[in-house]
């Protein structure tokens, strides 16, 4: 197995007691609905494994850049998310109900764990801001800019936004 997420940790299964750090980075392109983990910059993970009863505890942090698209006005924006990880990898225990992750050989692939940790936090309906008015479906005009002339001048950031939307894909 040759992925940035695969690590030889079989010695910990066989009784190695000192904690071990597994860390790395990976360019992924994972998405749900209107949010996606972008490949550039790559996500990073820094996890410490410790032997505990029944398996290995996984504690650490994952950092990734997420691109969202507002479900009302379709504005896109990016943010960096940091996810604290506290998980358990079972070692050779069948039907373990406390964890989805099992180490049954020498190599463990952390990709499903990292993916789950990040993806479960992504919003199904991202919103650029709490009071986003969205678009008029028929014309594509932005209700956020549907203001009187005086208000329009005062709200130039929205006009800029509208220009971006008009020239966007």
Distance between CA 127 and CA 144 in Å, rounded? 13
Distance between CA 40 and CA 33 in Å, rounded? 19
Least spacing, CB of residue 157 vs Zn ion, in Å = 13
Least spacing, CB of residue 70 vs Zn ion, in Å = 3
Q: Which residue from 26, 81, 132, 147 is in contact with Zn ion, where contact means CB under 5 A?
A: 132
Least spacing, CB of residue 39 vs Zn ion, in Å = 25
Least spacing, CB of residue 142 vs Zn ion, in Å = 9
Q: Which stretch binds Zn ion (CB under 5 A): 30-38, 95-103, 132-140, 152-160?
A: 132-140
Chain positions 79 to 108 lying near Zn ion, rule: CB under 5 A, are none
Residue 131 contacts residue 66 (beta carbons within 8 Å): no
Q: Which stretch binds Zn ion (CB under 5 A): 4-12, 13-21, 96-104, 120-128?
A: 120-128
Nearer to Zn ion, 8 or 129 (CB): 129
Nearer to Zn ion, 43 or 70 (CB): 70
State the binding string over 52-81 for Zn ion (x if CB under 5 A, else -). ------------------x-xx-x------
Q: How many amino acids of this chain bind Zn ion (CB under 5 A)?
A: 6
Please state the three-class secondary structure of the chain as a single string.
CCCCCEEECHHHHCCCCCCEEEEEEECCCEEECCEEECCCCCEEEEEEEEEECCEEEEEEEEEEEEEEECCCCCCEEEEEEEEEEEEEEEECCCCCCCCCEEECCCEEECHHHHHHHHHCCCCCCCCCCCCCCCECCCCCCEHHHCCCHHHHHHCHHHHHHHHHHHHCC
Which positions lie near Zn ion, rule CB under 5 A?
Answer: 70, 72-73, 75, 128, 132
């Amino acid at each position: 197995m040759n992925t940035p997420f695969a690590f030889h940790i079989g010695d910990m299964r066989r009784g190695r007691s000192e904690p071990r750090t597994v860390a790395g980075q990976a360019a992924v392109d994972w998405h749900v609905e209107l949010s996606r983990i972008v490949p550039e910059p790559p996500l990073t993970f820094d996890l410490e494994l410790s032997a505990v009863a029944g398996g290995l505890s996984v504690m650490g942090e994952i950092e990734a850049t997420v691109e969202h698209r507002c479900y009302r006005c379709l504005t896109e924006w990016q943010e960096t998310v940091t996810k604290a990880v506290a998980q358990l990898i079972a070692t050779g225990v069948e039907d373990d109900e406390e964890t989805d992750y099992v180490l049954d050989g020498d190599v463990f692939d952390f990709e499903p764990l990292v993916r789950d940790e990040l993806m479960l936090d992504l919003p199904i309906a991202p919103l650029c801001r709490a009071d986003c008015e969205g678009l008029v479906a028929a014309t594509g005009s932005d209700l956020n800019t549907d203001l009187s002339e005086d208000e329009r001048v005062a709200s130039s950031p929205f006009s800029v936004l509208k220009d971006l939307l008009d020239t966007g894909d």
